[in-house]
């Protein structure tokens, strides 16, 4: 018996099969177009809807520093990246550089945004203008 029938659901009429779906293009990919460098710079750090965070850059940075002092580096990393994402949303290139430079130093991880912060922040602003305003 078909699993969907077992749980009482029907397959939607006109639903695409996996063979029919070649590639799903994300909103970020659409905005970045062929510029893979910017896409890679933003991929894991852009906040898709920063309004839902409910904190300022300063508050997120304080949270990160608090967890850093407590030795909880996992939570510190999360909050620093949130602070950096909020800086991207605000269009604050200097804060983006400051926060992600600190992340590189503390967590021994490369952040591609530091190679092209101005271009990446500008492209993120395009994303926010199109999808959040």
The answer to whether the CB of 118 falls within 8 A of the CB of 93 is: yes
Handedness of CA 6, 20, 35, 51 (dihedral sign): negative
- At 62-103, the pLDDT tens digits run 999 999 999 999 999 999 999 999 999 999 999 999 999 999
The answer to whether the CB of 97 falls within 8 A of the CB of 114 is: yes
The two tokens of residue 127 are 């994303």
Mean pLDDT taken over the chain: 87
- At 37-50, the pLDDT tens digits run 999 999 999 998 99
Helix/strand/coil percent split, the chain, to 5: 65, 0, 35
The pLDDT score that the predictor gives to residue 71 is 97
The pLDDT score that the predictor gives to residue 22 is 45
């Amino acid at each position: 018996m078909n699993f969907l029938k077992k749980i009482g659901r029907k397959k939607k009429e006109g639903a695409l099969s996996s063979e029919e779906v070649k590639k799903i293009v994300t909103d970020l990919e659409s905005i970045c177009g062929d510029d893979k460098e910017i896409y890679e710079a933003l991929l894991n750090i852009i906040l898709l809807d920063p309004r839902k965070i409910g904190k300022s850059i300063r508050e997120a940075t304080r949270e990160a520093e608090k967890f850093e002092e407590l030795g909880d580096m996992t939570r510190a990393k999360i909050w620093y990246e949130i602070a950096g994402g909020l800086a991207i949303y605000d269009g604050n290139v200097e804060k983006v550089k400051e926060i992600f430079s600190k992340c590189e130093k503390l967590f021994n991880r490369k952040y591609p945004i530091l190679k092209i912060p101005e271009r990446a922040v500008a492209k993120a602003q395009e994303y926010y203008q199109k999808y959040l305003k």
